[in-house]
Amino acid sequence: MANKNRSSFQLSALPVTIFIHLLVIAVTTFVLVWLLHFREGLAFKSDIKQKIFNVHPLLMIIGFILIEGEAIMAYKTAPGMSRKVQKLFHLIMHLVALLAGIVGIYAVFKFHHELEIPDMYTLHSWLGMSTISLFGLQVIPSIKILRYR
């Protein structure tokens, strides 16, 4: 049996990476246009309470789709960097995604508080809170594991 060079079977991640980046930028742009043009805009403080809520979908898209996607692809999108720099970039992107998610959830709680709507009354809210909690909890062992690898 002939011994083949394994590198000849590896596919380049560049075309897929470029496609994913363009797709995520398009989705983020569409959500931003939707919020600004059709849903009154964005604000953390406003007399129009819908603007406060609108921060939530934008930050969830930016945090968990755009930034988290970058964190996942960090090792493929930055192949020229050292492993240590890639790990640091990966960690920072995860933390920024987590922060965006927390601020997005804060916006919903603020919206509910200002309109005196009860919190956590839908399946979406429970699944979302569970997801962000588990995402935050997995960061703790990840930091310890990445530090020693």
Domain limits, the chain? 13-148
| Whole-number pLDDT of residue 66 | 93
CATH tag, 13-148: 1.20.120.1770
Are the C-beta atoms of 29 and 74 separated by less than 8 Å? no
Torsion-angle region of 11 (φ positive above 0: left; ψ -120 to 50: alpha; else: beta): beta
**pLDDT (tens digit per residue) in 55-74:** 999 999 999 999 999 998 88
Separation between Cα atoms, residue 93 and residue 12, nearest integer Å: 23
**pLDDT (tens digit per residue) in 103-113:** 999 999 999 99
Per-residue pLDDT for 41 more than 60?
A: yes
Separation between Cα atoms, residue 44 and residue 142, nearest integer Å: 32
Single pTM value for the model: 0.85
